Amino acid sequence: MDTKKNIVAFIAIVAVFGLFWVMGMRDAIPVENVSRILSVQGFSNTEILPTVAVVQHEELGEYLTNGNGRALYTTTKGECNGDCLSVWPPYLTDKAIPKNSGRLGTVENVVAGGLQYTWDEKLLYYFVDDRHARDVKGNESGGVWFLIQE
């Protein structure tokens, strides 16, 4: 009897993980929309690299995204703290990018509790209402939030 319950529980767990995997794949960027994948100097081929892609938008031109196609933004108002973080979550990592590795870097974000990606030393953020790949709803928000454009 316990074996049957274990098998059913295992199947349920696999089904849930499969569902999350499929949901995550729907936001993947179609290869034809990626202008180029940016590399980071100082990482060996065996290390996991941060994925930053340059995507072409028909009206806005090229802009940076994460590996799932979510647009990356920066702000002219400085650092985002407090309530701001619920609308503009930081693009975080647990692995520092070596200094002098090019335009992509990391800095410590004490408030968010991790390392935050930077582009040309500008902090990178997501916009909470960009729910799918290629959404760019946060661009020019409040006159202080902008896509990272190439």
pLDDT for the residue 148: 94
Give the pLDDT confidence of 52-62 residue by residue, as tens digits: 889 999 999 99
Size of the chain in residues: 150
Pairwise pLDDT comparison (143 vs 39), residue with the higher score: 143
Q: Are 101 and 42 in contact (CB under 8 A)?
A: yes
Q: Which residue has the tokens 């767990």?
A: 13
Provide the H-helix boundaries in 43-125: 84-87
pLDDT for the residue 14: 44
pLDDT for the residue 17: 42
Q: Model's pTM, two decimal places? A: 0.69
Pairwise pLDDT comparison (42 vs 143), residue with the higher score: 143
User: What's the pLDDT band for 29 if we cut at 50, 70, 90?
Assistant: very low
Q: Are 91 and 117 in contact (CB under 8 A)?
A: yes
pLDDT for the residue 15: 45
Contacts of 6 (CB under 8 A, 6+ apart): none
Q: How many CB atoms lie within 10 A of CB 136?
A: 18
pLDDT for the residue 24: 42
Q: Per the structure block, which two tokens stand in for 122?
A: 């500008």
Q: Is the pLDDT of residue 150 over 50?
A: yes
